[in-house]
Structure 1
Amino acid sequence: MFVENKTTEFKRVYVEDIKNTIVAFANCDGGTLYIGVDDDGTVYGVDDVDGTMLRVTNAIRDAVRPDVTMFVECHNDVMDEKPVVCVSVQRGTARPYYLHGKGIRPEGVYVRQGASTVPATDAAILNMIKETSGDSYEAARSLNQHLTFNKSIDFFKKRKVEFGKAQMRTLHLIGEDDMYTNLAFLLSEQCTHMIKLAVFEGSKKSVFKDRRELSGSLLKQLEEAFDYIDRFNRTRAEFSGLDRLDMRDYPPESIREALLNAIVHRDYSFSGSTLISIFEDRIEFVTIGGLVKGIVLDDVMLGVSVLRNQNLANIFYRLRLIEAYGTGILKINECYNDYAVKPMIETTCNAFKITLPNTNFHSQEQKASNTLKMVSSTSVTKKEERINAVLELCRSKGSIIRSDVESALGVSQSTAILLLRELTGDSVLIKKGKTKNLRYYENKHRSG
């Protein structure tokens, strides 16, 4: 008996939703659509065979993306001595196929479920993309095909690199199916992957001082993230004789390389954001996605580079943002060759973290520590005088803050911090409150 099933569909006359069935057949196991046959299998025939075939082929050409015409054959047949239009569809190789006006969303992507044509689920759509594009995120077809590239066009133009349709194909922003890839999505204004930056008070994530969230083209995020971090990369002056030496908290080249590493090497198949945290003593760059399989941290430290996003890295290379693959971590370490503190690299199965130490902060702490040690070793009396001065200050004011010690003893901020830390550790003082509300009190219950 001639009945509808997963690969067979009847339509008594031409209707607009015929294209939904064509999409469903191409996304599944193929099938044949018969126009001129009722749902119960009764053949009524078609009055205008040529006109009907023309409407079908025009609808398929204009409404279905990617181009599915090579998998469709439209011909006429005779059933029960009546003319019928048959539309045979093969399973396509560029799934998911979708309605141009709806996009790669459930309302635009159809599949066969038994004898019915139904919208595909989000999971089914992603599975089809993975099946036809492989495991490479950047090579897979973008779910959003309505992309704009104003910022990227400006960025390429500024660096005198061509960025037309031909170049977009060469750079793999447009795939062989003439569709935008995920790589194009990453460079578009519609990119939803984010960089989140935060500035914290002190060295812990207790109090926010400022924060920023960046989205859109990765090239735009790169510029804005670097400018934001640079605002907090302070310059401190030191003098050698008559010469003034300006010292940045962080070597700018180390920030640039850490930021590029976070953007080029992150795993964009996850939706989590890249996190950049700025503290008083360090900056942390945390990137989603651990090391590529087969690579260990020791390999990275030697300059070995296996790229997760080969095409994205190639674009950054063409834009002269990176000079060669695998040199970023080496450059970061070289930036700290003349400093006692060194960058720290940590990795897990799903994350990569670079910590850049604040060179000025650690230099000041070391100087203050050396000064305190020298004072302690040369004069016990001097230490007692300081303890007595702090205690007298506490008794007269009831409690003190760090700046009180700086003023009363005529010492630097770092020295005051170390002195208060030592007195608290020796139970001479006790502290109450946190950060801005932190105050020190005499410990009246201490022994001795």
Structure 2
Amino acid sequence: MSTNGTGTSVDLNSLLLRESEQVEWKENVADIDDVVATICAFANDWSNLGGGYVVCGAAEKKDAHGFPAVELVGLTSARLKEVEGKVLTACRDRVYPGIVPLVHEMQGPTPDKRILVFIVASTSHAHTFRRGDDSGKHYVRLSRETREARDGILRELLVRKGDVEPWDRRICQSATTNDLDLVAFRDALQRMNVFDPNRGIDEYLSDTQSLSPFVPPLCGRDPLTGQLRPRNYAMLLFARQLQLHVPGAYALLSIYPGVDRSEPHAERHELAGSIIEQARRSIDLLGVQSHVAFDKTNSQSPNALKYPRQALTEAMVNALAHRDYELHEPTRTTVFSDRIEISSPGSLPTGIRVDTFQEGKATSKWRNQSLAWFLNRLQLAQAEGQGIPTIIRSMRDEGCPAPSFEVTEANVACRLPAHPRHALAREYSSIEEAISLGEFSRAKDRVDALLQRDPLNHRAVGLLTDVALALADVTLVRGYVAEYRTHLNSLPPLVLTRLADALTLHTQPTQNDRDEARRLYLAASQGYVEEREVRKLAQGLSRSGDDHAAVEFLDKQFRDHPEWRTTPSLLQVRGNAYIGMAKQCARTARFSNQLSAPAKKRAWDDCRRFLAQARRDLELALTTDDPNLKEIVQKNLDFAIKQQRAAGADRGRSPQGKSHSSRR
């Protein structure tokens, strides 16, 4: 450590441990301009570290482990004086405003050499340095390098140093107060509860009075003409034709039906008008995406929002409030089937770390503070620093995947993934589309993939039956039922019914198909069945050979839902089931030689009773207004009456053709 006459101390070892933005090591000082540019960068203090050190006569090396180390080589007396003189002259004559760094000499590696250190403090100015005949340029320190400040970095540097006002506070040189929509302005003031009807609206368009200490007056005076002109933030909020004055201040919203832009059809909305109008229109368009997917089998959270509306609103307003309006690029929102991407022109405001921003932990910092203040007061934006955490929290609370944020020098993009349940819904729609287009192999492959992930996914099982029927390949259903027979009772009744239908409705059902279907129908009949499915399930039980179970199932439904007792379609199905039961009794009475006479009598009695019940049901069902159903009921009724007569005649005959009375 060494101390000069001013009391300033320098420790080369401690300098080596400092962040690289603060120290520049020069071995031989081959280029004086490089030293001056670095001094200028330290004075501009882009990273807000308080300045820096340029050490001449010390080389930065690597140790055996690859870590930074310093090798002191020193400068001769003549070279030291030469470097010091040239650097200070350049700092005075070619840096604007001029800089006078502190100069410090330190003992070198040998008595004939010294180390020269320029100590540079941060200043309140944005300094330029002119190399040779070039015009002056601003320099900043970025990590280990000194670079020319350009574009957004230059603008931010000038704003920080107070040489230029932030863009949203500057006067719009192409506009006058006549370009403002005073009706929209008054409505905004009323919503903010700051409008005084006793004051004229023109009084609010002041260059001396502001609505809040946090924002400047809405207007300012042109320094040359004295003309009253609105500031840029006032134009963004209330301009009649904003895009004439701020070319990039518009938004594009595109909606694609698939997962990328290769789709042949899409929607495109070009949103002009003020930022308030763009925000409201964008929120309305995105609000359509915030719909619900319902899952009856999920007792914990049957309703799942595709996107939480609060996340959509915050992401959209953030993109409009914090974008760089000096770039002539629109704010872009792209809606895909599985995600929404919102891109805001311009990188992050300087001083915000990308990693903390992506985690929602960044220190709040406005690029357009005046604009953001108004949007907050108009209830369009969250309070300062709450936007990104709100997006992350609302997505998490709804069970959606975490949002992601991509930061580049050109833009900041927010990506909101849809709720996983909606991804399944898209897969279901894709399979249904493949079936409708006759692409059965593709549909089968996708159904297989779904069932591999979740064998009891009831929607996928239903689609499996559709594919099986479309392919006329009942082996798909047979294989599934055989593999998961012990777990099928957990499926909803409607899905069990569809599986059973697939086994019984193909062209040549086997007895095993009917037995499997009967088990499935019986399992379905034990659960809750909606009215529109009751008829189908009862018909399936009869088709599988269990008319008795069909009647019991319908009787239970009529007890639980008395209002269904007069439903013609259900009465028709029960009437048919009674006819089936009567047929079975008649066959037993006619062709079973092992039955005793009393047993045969009971069979005939049951046959007549079932036919009488069938006749009652079918006569009640004739009240239907459906002509097709009425025709079917009439045919069934005629058949029941005919069977009644036949049963009455057969009851009086013995198996040998003799009457019971003559035999007795």
Closer/same/farther in 2, CA of residues 167 and 198 from structure 1, 3 Å limit? same
Deviation of 1:248 (Å): 2.5
Partner-residue secondary structure (3-state), 1:355 = strand
Match of residue 180 from structure 2: 148
Deviation of 1:221 (Å): 1.1
Whole-Å separation in 1 of the counterparts to 2:307 and 2:367: 28
Q: Whose RCO is larger (CA < 8 A, sep 6+)?
A: 1
Contact 1:303–1:330 (Cα < 8 Å) also in 2: no
Deviation of 1:182 (Å): 1.3
Deviation of 1:148 (Å): 2.2
Match of residue 367 from structure 2: 308
Deviation of 1:141 (Å): 1.8
Partner-residue secondary structure (3-state), 1:221 = helix
Of 184, 189, 198, the residue aligned with 2:240 is 189
Partner-residue secondary structure (3-state), 1:175 = strand
Structure-to-structure mapping, 1:163-202, within 5 angstroms: 164-169=201-206, 170=210, 171-172=215-216, 173-177=218-222, 178-187=228-237, 188-192=239-243, 193-202=249-258
Query: Deviations for 1:98-139, whole angstroms, at most 9, x for unmatched residues?
Result: xxxxxxxxxxxxxxxxxxxxxxxxxxxxx9xx9998252212
Match of residue 23 from structure 2: none
How many residues of Structure 1 are paired with residues of Structure 2 in the alignment? 265
Contact 2:352–2:362 (Cα < 8 Å) also in 1: no
Contact 2:192–2:377 (Cα < 8 Å) also in 1: no
Whole-Å separation in 2 of the counterparts to 1:239 and 1:388: 25
Whole-Å separation in 2 of the counterparts to 1:313 and 1:261: 9
Contact 2:255–2:334 (Cα < 8 Å) also in 1: yes
Contact 2:402–2:417 (Cα < 8 Å) also in 1: yes
Percent identical pairs in the alignment equals: 23
More helix by share: 2
Closer/same/farther in 2, CA of residues 133 and 141 from structure 1, 3 Å limit? farther
Whole-Å separation in 2 of the counterparts to 1:185 and 1:324: 22
Partner-residue secondary structure (3-state), 2:267 = strand
- Residue 231 (1) aligns with residue 288 (2): yes
Between stretches 294-303 and 216-225, larger displacement belongs to 294-303
Amino acid at match of 2:332: L
Match of residue 372 from structure 1: 452
Partner-residue secondary structure (3-state), 2:167 = coil
Partner-residue secondary structure (3-state), 2:396 = coil
Of 404, 414, 417, the residue aligned with 1:344 is 404
Between stretches 287-296 and 142-151, larger displacement belongs to 142-151
Between stretches 325-334 and 198-207, larger displacement belongs to 198-207
Amino acid at match of 2:179: L
Amino acid at match of 1:237: F
Amino acid at match of 2:190: K
Closer/same/farther in 2, CA of residues 160 and 242 from structure 1, 3 Å limit? same
Between stretches 288-297 and 252-261, larger displacement belongs to 288-297
Query: Deviations for 1:137-174, whole angstroms, at most 9, x for unmatched residues?
Result: 21222122231223343243244343844545414321
Deviation of 1:336 (Å): 1.9
Partner-residue secondary structure (3-state), 2:366 = coil
Amino acid at match of 1:330: P
Whole-Å separation in 2 of the counterparts to 1:235 and 1:340: 12
Amino acid at match of 2:363: V
Match of residue 277 from structure 1: 334
Partner-residue secondary structure (3-state), 1:337 = helix
Contact 1:270–1:288 (Cα < 8 Å) also in 2: yes
Closer/same/farther in 2, CA of residues 176 and 299 from structure 1, 3 Å limit? farther
- Residue 319 (1) aligns with residue 375 (2): no
Of 286, 291, 311, the residue aligned with 1:254 is 311
Whole-Å separation in 1 of the counterparts to 2:194 and 2:287: 26
Closer/same/farther in 2, CA of residues 239 and 134 from structure 1, 3 Å limit? same
Deviation of 1:344 (Å): 1.0
Whole-Å separation in 2 of the counterparts to 1:340 and 1:226: 19
Contact 1:196–1:275 (Cα < 8 Å) also in 2: yes
Amino acid at match of 1:309: N
Query: Deviations for 1:26-49, whole angstroms, at most 9, x for unmatched residues?
Result: xxxxxxxxxxxxxxxxxxxxxxxx
Of 375, 381, 387, the residue aligned with 1:328 is 387
Whole-Å separation in 2 of the counterparts to 1:319 and 1:290: 26
* TM-score normalized with structure 1 length: 0.51
Amino acid at match of 1:372: Q
Amino acid at match of 2:267: D
Closer/same/farther in 2, CA of residues 365 and 202 from structure 1, 3 Å limit? closer
Structure-to-structure mapping, 1:70-85, within 5 angstroms: none
- Residue 358 (1) aligns with residue 423 (2): no
Amino acid at match of 2:180: T
Amino acid at match of 2:422: F
Contact 1:151–1:189 (Cα < 8 Å) also in 2: no
Structure-to-structure mapping, 1:101-116, within 5 angstroms: none
Whole-Å separation in 1 of the counterparts to 2:290 and 2:205: 36
Match of residue 136 from structure 1: 166
Amino acid at match of 2:374: I
Whole-Å separation in 1 of the counterparts to 2:288 and 2:220: 39
Amino acid at match of 2:219: I
Amino acid at match of 1:134: V
Deviation of 1:233 (Å): 2.8
Amino acid at match of 2:410: N
Amino acid at match of 2:282: A
RMSD between aligned residues: 4.0
Whole-Å separation in 2 of the counterparts to 1:265 and 1:180: 20
Contact 2:400–2:417 (Cα < 8 Å) also in 1: no
Amino acid at match of 1:144: A
Whole-Å separation in 2 of the counterparts to 1:228 and 1:272: 21
Contact 2:293–2:422 (Cα < 8 Å) also in 1: no
Whole-Å separation in 1 of the counterparts to 2:220 and 2:233: 10
Amino acid at match of 1:357: P
Amino acid at match of 1:266: R
Partner-residue secondary structure (3-state), 2:219 = coil
Whole-Å separation in 1 of the counterparts to 2:427 and 2:393: 21
Contact 1:199–1:208 (Cα < 8 Å) also in 2: no
* TM-score normalized with structure 2 length: 0.35
